[in-house]
Structure 1
Amino acid sequence: MLSMRLKLAALDDFATLRRLFDDPSLSGWGGLGRPSDALIRAKYLGTRLSEVECFIVLVEEEAVGIVQMHSEGGGSAGIDLILSSAARGQGTGRLVVDAIIAPARERGIDRLTVDPDVKNEHGIRFWRAVGFELRSTTGEEVGREPYLLMCREVE
């Protein structure tokens, strides 16, 4: 069984996040190419928006991905997840989704949402497999490919 845990990103995690974003399998995540150091510090180390939390995914204490949780108000939070290619297909994503439930509950969140692109068939299958259900399809947003809005209740 994999040893996986989430570590809330802190200012001293910059080097870890830089290494993750330099991994080609994370290229383009979040609409970014290779993010600048300043953007990593602002967007992923909590200095930009207090309602967005970034967790580093550790497997056997090695950083293999990132999961963000951002409050949407009304007891709802969106999550974004990216894993390095080496961590995919081994059950890590399922462990991450299970692990994000505790901090969500602590923050009074009762519903999680995700928004995979319509063309991301693998991602859509994954989110369905971990309990997310389709709520709507959006195709009218400027600067974004059409995507699905999927939700899961926090047990």
Structure 2
Amino acid sequence: MGTSDAVSVRPTSAADFAELRALFDDPSFHGWGGPSPLPDAVIRAKYLGARLPEVECFLVLRHGEAVGLAQLHAADDRHSGGMDLILLARVRGAGIGRAVVSILVERARSVHGWSRLTVDPEGPPCLVRLPPGPRTLHWLALLTIVSACDDSSPALR
């Protein structure tokens, strides 16, 4: 799947349960996705691919180690969607959030054809229109997202 230097994302599957359980047991994940500790049944139902194609879940990997979770979810209009991202506290501030946003913005535009993406719809609103044109325009949109969201979203810090 998408890669940016040592950071990559991989769609989750049933085989990823142990890694997701470990992430949700970390204090930096407490309260994300529901009250903590998040029951095994909730992790299986919400984060292991059962909600495809409306919700895509991705493990965030740094040098192959699971350090976070990201989601893309389609809006009702199917021309836009949202992105959620949470990282372990110990890896925040290392540029991983920016790399993941870049990977998933590209996926939202190229795979889904979305023209609009809301980053962390439950947090501070960070909305960007995704240009259909050349990659340079895409990077301008990405910089807008990161500038507007990175400092105010605890999951990206």
Pick the TM interval, shorter chain. 0.7 to 0.9
Distance 1:32 1:75 in 2: 31
Structure 2 residues without counterparts, runs of 5 or longer:
131-137, 139-157
Distance 1:79 1:153 in 2: 13
Structure 1 residues without counterparts, runs of 5 or longer:
118-147
Task: State the partner residue of 2:114.
Answer: 109
Task: State the partner residue of 2:13.
Answer: 10
Q: Structure 1 runs of 4+ off > 6 angstroms?
A: none
Structure (1 or 2) with the greater strand fraction: 1
Task: State the partner residue of 2:129.
Answer: 153
Counterpart code for 2:55: V
The farther-off stretch of 4-13 and 45-54 is 45-54
Task: State the partner residue of 1:37.
Answer: 40
* Alignment TM-score, normalising by the size of structure 2: 0.73
Query: Does the CA contact (< 8 Å) of 1:68 and 1:81 recur in 2?
Result: yes
Alignment match of 2:86 (pick from 82, 94, 106): 82
User: What's the RMSD between the two structures over aligned residues?
Assistant: 1.7
Aligned residues: 125
Give the C-alpha shift of residue 74 in structure 1: 4.0
Query: Does the CA contact (< 8 Å) of 1:43 and 1:49 recur in 2?
Result: no
Residues 25, 80 of structure 1: alpha-carbon distance in 2 compared, 3 angstrom cutoff: same
The yes-or-no answer on 1:19 pairing with 2:19 is no
1:80 counterpart SS class: strand
2:18 counterpart SS class: helix
Distance 1:27 1:81 in 2: 14
Identity within the alignment, %:
47
* Alignment TM-score, normalising by the size of structure 1: 0.74
Counterpart code for 1:40: I
